[in-house]
Structure 1
Amino acid sequence: MTAFTQDYQITWEKLPDDYKLPDDPVDNINQPALAAALTQSLELAGKLPPNALTPTNYGICATLNGKIVVKAPDWAYIPKISVNREDVTRSYTPQLQGDIPVIVIEFLSDTEGGEYSIKPTYPPGKWFFYECVLKVPNYAIFEPDSGDLEVYCLDNNTGRYVVQNPNENQRYWIAQMNLYLAVWQGTRENRTGNWLRWWDEQGNLLLWGSELAQKERQRTERLAAQLRAAGIEPQD
């Protein structure tokens, strides 16, 4: 499958087995926790289909004029892969192995700010790659320390990203997922700070496992209290 963007001929080819992927360290100790939290709440809410893929700091590939380009967003949501999961253990090539990601998310760190790079020459910048090569419908950039969240959507007419405004609850609608994305403050896994979280169309927060467990404990305690009030000692 071939497409043309700028002066590039884009092809979708499987990464060669002998291709050496960059072994870059994670920029920030919080990034794995932020990414895992996004995936867990989707899974527990039943909103992660069996063939969906949520790669974290994981190579997404395209071939431009015969040269391989690999970018590794901090988190992405791919609705459906068309191959076995064993075939995407090192990298993922859209079009060839499944859907284009519907959203990519970058967590800002103290690096050079490459998340905003529109460099079109080889190797292209991240912004250019997501916008003009992959044509990812939604691109989010999150700064965990400040809690600043920017969400851009691909304009179908111009093919360029347009900044989105949140609703009255400061949530951004991700149409392809039928979910809202927004910043939430609180504690998870001993980290207190800003997190990215999902809300459904009715405004219900998609809960993490620890929150579901707490909710169940509270339900059990309320039921036990009601039984005791009725003169019945609950069974352990």
Structure 2
Amino acid sequence: MTIAQSPPTLSLPDHTQLPESDGTFVKNFQEHPQSILLTSSIRPVLEQLHPDGRYCIGQDSGIYWRSIEPPERGAEAPDCFYVPNVAPLLDGKYRRSYVMWKEIVAPLIAIEFVSGDGSEERDATSPFLNPEAKAGKFWVYEQAIRIPFYAIYEVQKASVEVYELVAQRYQLLEANDRGHYAISSLGVELGIWQGKVDNQTLPWLRWWDSNGNLLLTGEERADLEKQRADVEEQRADVEKQRADRLAAKLREMGVDPQDI
């Protein structure tokens, strides 16, 4: 079995030579808005961390960690993942997938949305112990790719488990006083937020900053700015009406408001 640490002399395929899809469907109607919710709200943080723009966000994109036939057996596709300090484009082209034997940097965090009973996301099956079995996701993220943070989100249970790689093993993080999980390398927290998104009221997976402030999506930020503008407009209207009444009162008293 060839894994990410394969010698550079081997001629292994790159992202243009590997399948960019395994042909499976997105599991449900909640996953797409959930992905957008996570990626849109975290982008301002990532742009501040990477002013040079060198970072990638993958959504249902393949991470190839070993070369095997068929190729899809050597890949996992997290629902969402982030890679720091890498070019968003390769040779001026969009990335079809993320190929570990062609890269230096591993993803910092991978997030899986549970659509079944969660066994697939927690599967720690090792291909070394059972070469005939497909390596489990948990094992791949922990032992093969070695992703520092791994989150398993279950909308049906309104919960998220967050694991941190410590001494080459995932350890389950404890929630803080806000019920959130600190992703220290990003300076943010991950947790569950109950609310309405795309006409669906559900327990959504959201980001907060280290002070517990919810990170807003682009649409939410625009809505908030509009609300602020509306409030300012209403305040200006009230002040104008008050000034007009005062001016009228002064005129009744024979005083020209312009003389004051």
TM value normalised by structure 1: 0.84
**Paired residue for 1:78?**
83
Q: Find runs of 4+ consecutive structure 1 residues off by over 3 angstroms.
A: 7-21, 64-68, 85-88
- Give the CA deviation at 1:32: 1.5
1:53-78, Cα deviation, whole Å (9 max, x unpaired): 11111100122689851110111111
**Paired residue for 1:118?**
124
- Give the CA deviation at 1:112: 7.0
Asked if 1:31 corresponds to 2:31, the answer is: yes
Aligned equivalents of 1:231, 1:138: Cα separation in 2: 55
Q: CA RMSD of the aligned region, Å?
A: 2.6
- Give the CA deviation at 1:87: 4.8
Asked if 1:109 corresponds to 2:115, the answer is: yes
Aligned equivalents of 1:108, 1:87: Cα separation in 2: 31
Aligned residues: 224
**Paired residue for 1:99?**
105
Whether the 8 Å CA contact 1:82–1:97 is kept in 2: the answer is: no
Aligned equivalents of 1:116, 1:134: Cα separation in 2: 15
- Give the CA deviation at 1:46: 4.5
Amino acid across the alignment from 1:79: P
Bigger share in helix = 2
Query: Which consecutive residues of structure 1, in runs of 5 or more, have no partner in the other structure?
Result: 1-6
**Paired residue for 1:214?**
223
Identical residues among aligned pairs (%)? 28
Query: Which consecutive residues of structure 2, in runs of 5 or more, have no partner in the other structure?
Result: 7-11, 243-260
- Give the CA deviation at 1:133: 0.6
Aligned equivalents of 1:112, 1:161: Cα separation in 2: 17
Asked if 1:195 corresponds to 2:194, the answer is: no
Aligned equivalents of 1:46, 1:10: Cα separation in 2: 29
Select 1:139's aligned residue among 142, 150, 166.
150
- Give the CA deviation at 1:150: 0.5
Indicate the larger mover: 84-93 or 198-207. Answer: 84-93
TM value normalised by structure 2: 0.77
- Give the CA deviation at 1:80: 2.5
**Paired residue for 1:56?**
59
SS at match of 2:147: coil
Aligned equivalents of 2:144, 2:45: Cα separation in 1: 31
SS at match of 1:170: coil
Indicate the larger mover: 196-205 or 45-54. Answer: 45-54
Pair 1:167–1:15, CA change in 2 (3 A): same
Amino acid across the alignment from 2:172: V
Structure showing greater radius of gyration is 2
SS at match of 1:221: helix
Whether the 8 Å CA contact 2:55–2:88 is kept in 1: the answer is: no
- Give the CA deviation at 1:184: 0.4
